[in-house]
Amino acid sequence: MKKVLSVLGLGLLFVLSVVIIKTVTNKPLSNLKEVQLEALPQNAIAHMSAAIQLRTETPNDDYQFDTATFMSYRKFIETAYPLIHQNLPRTIVDSFNYIYEWKGTDTSILPMVLMAHYDVVPVEASAIKLWHAKPYGGEVKENYIWGRGVLDDKSSMISILEAAEAQLAKGFKPKQTILLCFGADEESSGRGATAVVKYFKSQNRKFDLVVDEGGEISTEDNKSIKAPIASIGVGEKGYVTLVLTAQKAGGHSSIPATTTAIDILSNAIAKVSQNPMPTKLTPPIEAYLNSISAYNENFFEKMALSNLWLFKSSVVNNLSKQPTTNALIRTTLVPTVFNSGVRDNVIPTFATAYINSRILPGQSSKDVYDYVQKIINDTSIKITYYKNYMTEPSPTTDVNSKYYKRVEKAVRSVVKDVVVAPMLMVGATDSRNYREVSDGVVNFSPLTDAKGYHGIDERMQISDLQKCFNFYTLLIKGE
Ligand SMILES: [Zn+2]
């Protein structure tokens, strides 16, 4: 017995030593060699402001562009960036999507793509009075540039153009061919990006790094980490909606049957809510936890994050407690629509509900369907796919790849003491199409605690315009 106890004690001591050693040796990344950052070009702020004043609202469902405005925007780009217009051949795809090609000196390297979209979501008429600036005024005040689209996503487009124009002015010739791709309908159909990628495929083109909007920098809510965190999107969750329909003979509400269509469906919805899909730590999120672990200032949290081999289940359990982190480790299911009944004294024959799901990489819409069917376990409920918009989770970009490392380096060169970590995106962007032609799609632009996306008071810090400009400049220069 004594022997067993001492073996157990030794084992425990060994585990404890490994845990402590892994915790204390988990050190932040060493500093990078400082690079010289360039000053923001003189006209950059005025260009940003002018871009906002052109109301390039996203075309509606039947793809009706406000042609005059989109043409004015084209003219504006041609005039504001004369060197790009003169030197980089432009291809126009599907009316208003642009590809500018900057030939590199070494054509054996696959080209890099810097992309953005310039359509914007409309401003809600009833909310205009809540704005602190004119939504399309392009006002510059209190160290911000204000207006619809300044963050999403004209900040990226203007910064990319400023960076390219400035390098052309200096006579810079890139080694790697660089494509600047700008989309006109990301906020609606995304048809433009699909057409552009189809065009690339028809030419058998493949790409190296592709950088699009998505991940950003956060300095808020990082409880145990004091440094800003830059989240680089490396994959997108999928999207599917299931339609659940219950049918039961209705009739007069004065003589009800024991169960109604509403009862059957409510019961099913309750089962789904009470039985979330199991948690799963996917490679991007495991890499995210690894990346931030060294910077955690709470010893016990750092210990758990540095030893996922031992503490994985408690870490995952903790993540599942907050909606934002829960969404990273689970395929989520949530009822979003519930319809039934026409009159207060009529028992309805049908009840219908929608369950919206965001799917983790490695799972599929079919997995979601099968899971919901199993949990409900009621053959009287018909389950179908809501086809309007459905997309499977994207493949993910490897965080050890040269693509990710290149963006990580650029971010760390532009933002002091930043923690860079991969992230799974819960929304969809134009760049998902590019995964067919590149293994290196990442989503990032160095906006900090950005506010007002699709809502009121959309605004960009002027210091962020500087950061975006520097970020794209480093990528263009290949530094
Ligand atoms: Zn966007």
What are the angstrom distances between the C-alpha of 277 and each of 51, 181, 370, 428?
Answer: 44, 38, 11, 21
Instruction: For residue 283, give both structure tokens.
Output: 């490679």
CA of residue 456 to ligand 1 center, whole Å? 16
CA of residue 205 to ligand 1 center, whole Å? 25
CA of residue 235 to ligand 1 center, whole Å? 15
CA of residue 201 to ligand 1 center, whole Å? 24
Per-residue model confidence as pLDDT tens digits over 423-471:
999 878 899 999 999 999 999 999 999 988 888 999 999 999 999 999 9
CA of residue 117 to ligand 1 center, whole Å? 7
Of 147, 132, 141, 192, the C-alpha closest to 51 is 147
| CB burial string 294-327: b at 16+ within 10 A, e below | bbbeeeebbbbbbbbeebeeebbeebbeeeeeeb
Per-residue model confidence as pLDDT tens digits over 171-223:
999 999 999 999 999 988 889 999 999 999 999 999 999 999 999 999 986 77
Residues with CB under 5 A from ligand 1 (ion): 152-153
Q: What is the pLDDT at residue 63?
A: 76
CA of residue 148 to ligand 1 center, whole Å? 11
CA of residue 429 to ligand 1 center, whole Å? 7
The answer to whether the Cα torsion of 74, 80, 82, 84 is positive or negative is negative
Cα(397)–Cα(393) distance, rounded to whole angstroms? 12
CA of residue 214 to ligand 1 center, whole Å? 7
pLDDT in tens, the chain (479 residues): 677 778 888 888 888 888 888 888 888 888 888 888 999 999 999 999 999 999 999 877 667 889 999 999 999 999 999 999 999 999 999 999 999 999 999 999 999 999 999 999 999 899 999 999 999 999 999 999 999 999 999 999 999 999 999 999 999 999 999 999 999 999 888 899 999 999 999 999 999 999 999 999 999 867 789 999 999 999 999 999 999 999 998 888 888 888 999 999 999 999 999 999 999 999 999 999 999 999 999 999 999 999 999 999 999 999 999 998 999 999 999 999 999 999 999 999 999 999 999 999 999 999 999 999 999 999 999 999 997 778 999 999 999 999 999 999 999 999 989 999 999 998 788 999 999 999 999 999 999 999 888 889 999 999 999 999 999 999 999 98
What are the angstrom distances between the C-alpha of 273 and each of 266, 285, 308, 373?
Answer: 11, 24, 29, 13
- Give the angle 96-100-105 at the CA atoms, nearest 5°: 170
Q: What is the pLDDT at residue 443?
A: 97
Provide the residue type at 451 as one letter.
Answer: K
pTM recorded for the entire structure: 0.90
CA of residue 291 to ligand 1 center, whole Å? 26
CA of residue 379 to ligand 1 center, whole Å? 41
Total Cβ atoms within 10 A of residue 423? 24
CA of residue 353 to ligand 1 center, whole Å? 29
CA of residue 454 to ligand 1 center, whole Å? 9
- Contact status, residue 138 vs residue 145, Cβ threshold 8 Å: yes
Give me the DSSP letters along 29-92. PPPPPP-PPPPPPTTHHHHHHHHHHS--BPP-TT----HHHHHHHHHHHHHH-HHHHHHS-EEE
CA of residue 93 to ligand 1 center, whole Å? 19
CA of residue 75 to ligand 1 center, whole Å? 22
Q: What is the pLDDT at residue 62?
A: 67
Number of DSSP helices (H) and strands (E) in the chain, helices first = 14, 17
Of 88, 84, 70, the C-alpha closest to 192 is 70
3-state secondary structure of 247: strand
Cα(363)–Cα(68) distance, rounded to whole angstroms? 44
CA of residue 272 to ligand 1 center, whole Å? 32
Total Cβ atoms within 10 A of residue 187? 21
- Contact status, residue 465 vs residue 44, Cβ threshold 8 Å: yes
3-state secondary structure of 275: coil
Count of residues in the chain: 479
Report the mean per-residue pLDDT for the chain: 94
CA of residue 113 to ligand 1 center, whole Å? 17
Q: Cβ neighbours of residue 299 under 8 Å, at least 6 residues apart?
A: 23
CA of residue 120 to ligand 1 center, whole Å? 8
CA of residue 152 to ligand 1 center, whole Å? 5
CA torsion, points 156, 159, 163, 164, in degrees to nearest 10? 60
CA of residue 145 to ligand 1 center, whole Å? 17
Q: What is the pLDDT at residue 249?
A: 86
- Contact status, residue 164 vs residue 116, Cβ threshold 8 Å: no
Could you tell me the domains of the chain? Answer: 44-215+394-418+425-477 (3.40.630.10), 238-277+331-392 (3.30.70.360)
Of 213, 137, 159, the C-alpha closest to 145 is 137
CA of residue 428 to ligand 1 center, whole Å? 9
CA of residue 233 to ligand 1 center, whole Å? 13
171, exposed or middle or buried, with CB in 10 Å at 0-12, 13-18, 19+?
A: exposed
Question: Terminus-to-terminus CA distance in the chain, angstroms?
Answer: 63
Q: What is the pLDDT at residue 103?
A: 97
